[in-house]
Amino acid sequence: MLKKSWKRELPLHLLLLPAAAIVFIFNYIPMAGILMAFERYIPTKGIWGSKWVGFDNFSYIFSLPDTYTVLWNTLFIACMKIVVGQVTPIAVALLLNEMRSALIKRGVQTLIYLPHFLSWTILGGIMIDILSPSSGIVNQMLTAIGGKPIFFLGDNNWFPFTIVISNEWKEFGFSTIVYLAALTGISPALYEAAVMDGAGRWRQTWHITLPGMRPVIILLVTLSLGQVLNAGFEQIFVLYSPQVYESGDIIDTMVYRMGMLSAQYGPATAIGLMKSFVSLILISVAYFLAYRLANYRIF
Amino acid sequence: MVKESLGRKLFLGFDYTFMILLSLLCMFPLVHVLAVSFSSNAASSAGLVTLWPIGFNLKSYEFVMQNAEFLRSLGVSVQRVLLGSLIQMLLIVITAYPLSMEASRFRFRTAYAWYFLVTILFGGGLIPTYMVIKDLGMLDTLWALIVPSSVPVFSVVLLLNFYRGLPRELEEAAFIDGASLLRTLFSIILPLSLPAIATLLLFSMVGHWNAWFDGLLYMNRPENYPLQSYLQTLIINNDFKATTAEELQMLKSISNRSVKAAQIFLGALPILLVYPFLQKYFMKGIVLGSVKE
């Protein structure tokens, strides 16, 4: 019996083999690479030959004043993105839902979804052009109405907000899709009953539409908990410059510069490891909460 | 229904105006950059262009299309999109199938599923991954851009959920008729999954076209950059260099800004071309994951 099921299942193992091997090489072997975080890593000596230094890399990181700035920047930008990234799509979905002209609604959707599909290279290039303090169109408009030019990408007061808003430009449209799907799932009978009871539009929105969206909102908010340390590497990498490190440098960009540009492999891996570890805990908690609160399962 | 009140009318007026303005605002930067790319040197340098080209000409595009570096990186991108998506799709299709089975049919299903899911939760990080790819001798090859990302776990999950929605009886019938596992997958399951597969294929192609950081990371020589990595170094880092004397000569008559704008637009063009299909399929793609038993 046992032999038979092995024989029956063998082709299934073979089907999974290529993907399993690739994941092993490119995802699991690098996990062993986190040993570098505890070594004075020298590439020619390799992981097994480099000197073991325990937690030296970690104490080195925490002796750097920049580390605390970077941690704060990461949390600040990521949390702002989460809050704005939840509120905007809900509002937009509600406004779209009230539109009765299918044609205009579809047109609006087509335009607001588009930026999601463009890369940060493209969108970053556009941002740099339009926000340029000398020739950018945004600053030209500002000066035309009597304001002073603002260096959105070079001023530490403006940089984090520029990041959050430009990220919203890329993603808010796409994020509305899930909420719109939730809205279409609300039974029309509820609205009819409410109208019979004399409820106006506002009361319908408050007592039917919003509660109808609640499961999805709870789900997305809990899942976003896992993103608290993800401030968006690609976007910031494209848009930042040394003059805004003070307000815009985040964990991921710091790891990149330390590891890839200054070859401080040990400390860079150590920061990366701490981030992965905290994220792992946050994501696990988020999935657990999503499972308990919204009965969400990945598979 | 009878009393479409004044308040309601005002609200609807606001709603339509606001949403239309919002969507136009989203497009404004794109249209502006497009207009700059078609404008004359003088107009774009002086900042006269808003939404319509001033001094319309195609010089920037001529310059870009003669630029050897641009064309070479475009070639790398095309290879990457074609080969990368093909490999990704094949792996997604065959990996999702065993994972979609009940534990009674395939006892190791849950173990394998966790094996793949762990990679979503935890990774070695940037530097250890770079080291592995370097030790494999993949730096400066196309494979560094294709193989490490060839098993997108989320897409596998989407497809396995789709497979599960298919009627089990079909598979059983095929099995009784003596069809092998591969034959069942490719002649029964696959044709029924075409909508899901079209969605994932589009996602895969867009992902490969848009990816730029891996190119920057794994390619030491700029001639191996895919287009988006090349654009990143060019537009963002500003290390703009005309390579030949002719190009230098040409650059005098066109502005750096228009050339950049033209390249930004060309980099976005393939996405704009497939966008109608994307829009048709991505709604399905998102709903795809939520259909569960």
Distance from CA of A199 to the nearest CA of B (A): 12
What residues in A contact B32, CB-CB < 8 Å? 129-130, 137
Nearest CB to B236: which of A13, A26, A124?
A124
State the DSSP H helix or E strand holding residue A40, giving kind and residue range, or none if neither: strand A39-40
Residue from the list B106, B117, B128 with its beta carbon closest to the beta carbon of A36: B128
Chain B contact present for A240, CB below 8 A? no
User: B288: which residues sit within 8 A by CB, 6+ positions away?
Assistant: B158, B161, B162, B196, B199
User: Residue A59 and residue A254: Cα distance in Å, rounded?
Assistant: 16
- Give the contacts of A297 (CB within 8 A, at least 6 positions apart): A291, B292
pLDDT tens-digit readout, A134-160: 888 999 889 889 888 899 998 999 999
> B152-206: per-residue pLDDT in tens?
998 999 899 889 888 888 888 888 888 888 888 998 899 988 888 988 998 899 9
Tokens of residue B28, six digits: 């404004």
Q: Is B257 on the interface with A (CB under 8 A)?
A: yes
Give B-chain residues touching A237 at CB under 8 angstroms.
213
Quick one: average pLDDT of A100-111?
Answer: 91
Give dist(CA B61, CA B191) in Å, integer.
42
Distances B32 to A127, A177, B20 between C-alpha atoms, Å: 11, 27, 18
B293 pLDDT tier (thresholds 50, 70, 90): very low
Contacts of B136 in chain A (CB under 8 A): 25
User: Which one of A97, A116, A126 makes the best mutation probe of the B interface by having the most chain B beta carbons within 10 Å?
Assistant: A126
pLDDT number for residue A33: 85
Model confidence at A16, pLDDT cuts 50, 70, 90, reads: very high
Q: What is the pLDDT of residue B247?
A: 57
Closest Cα to residue B198, out of B172, B159, B163, B227? Answer: B159
Cα radius of gyration rounded to whole Å, chain A: 25
Q: Measure in Å the smallest separation between the Cα of B95 and chain A Cα atoms.
A: 5
The predicted pLDDT at position B139 comes to 94
Tell me if chain B has a CB within 8 Å of the CB of A201.
yes
Span B68-87, average pLDDT? 94
Burial tier of A86 (Cβ tally within 10 Å: 0-12, 13-18, 19+): middle
Q: Residue B244's pLDDT is what?
A: 55
Between residues 156 and 195 of chain B, which touch chain A (CB distance below 8 Å)?
156-157, 160-161, 180-182, 185
B29, B125, B267 member nearest A272 (Cβ)? B125
**Contact criterion met (CB < 8 Å) for B115 and A122:** no
Q: For B214, which residue in chain A has the nearest alpha carbon?
A: A234
Nearest to A26 among B120, B132, B185 (CB): B132
CB of B212 within 8 Å of any CB in chain A? Answer: yes
At residue A63 the predicted structure's pLDDT band, cuts being 50, 70 and 90, is very high
pLDDT above 90 (res A178): no
Complex ipTM over 0.90: no
Amino acid A24: pLDDT: 96
Q: Residue B153 is encoded by which pair of tokens?
A: 């776990």
Domains and CATH numbers, chain B: 26-57 (no CATH), 67-290 (1.10.3720.10)
Q: CA B85, CA B202: separation in Å to the nearest integer?
A: 9
Q: Is B246 exposed, middle or buried, given 0-12, 13-18 or 19+ CB atoms closer than 10 A? A: exposed
Dihedral angle sign, alpha carbons of residues B172, B178, B182, B185: negative
How does residue B240 score in pLDDT terms, banded at 50, 70 and 90?
very low
What's the whole-number mean pLDDT along residues A156-168?
A: 95
Say whether pLDDT at B41 is over 90.
no
Task: Give B18's contacts in chain A (Cβ within 8 Å).
Answer: 95
Closest partner CB to A9 (pick from B106, B128, B286)? B106
> Is A233 close to B26, i.e. CB distance below 8 A?
no
Shortest Cα–Cα distance, B196 to chain A (Å): 16
Residue A298 in this model has a pLDDT that exceeds 80: no
Compare A55 and B285 and report the one with higher pLDDT.
A55
- Which residue type sits at B150? S
pLDDT of residue B236: 66
Mean per-residue pLDDT, B76-101: 95
Give me the pLDDT at residue B210, please: 95
Among the partner residues A25, A117, A273, nearest to B132 by beta-carbon distance: A25
Does the distance separating the beta carbons of B16 and A32 come in below 8 Å? Answer: no
How many CB pairs below 8 A link A and B? 256
Tokens of B160: 């396995």
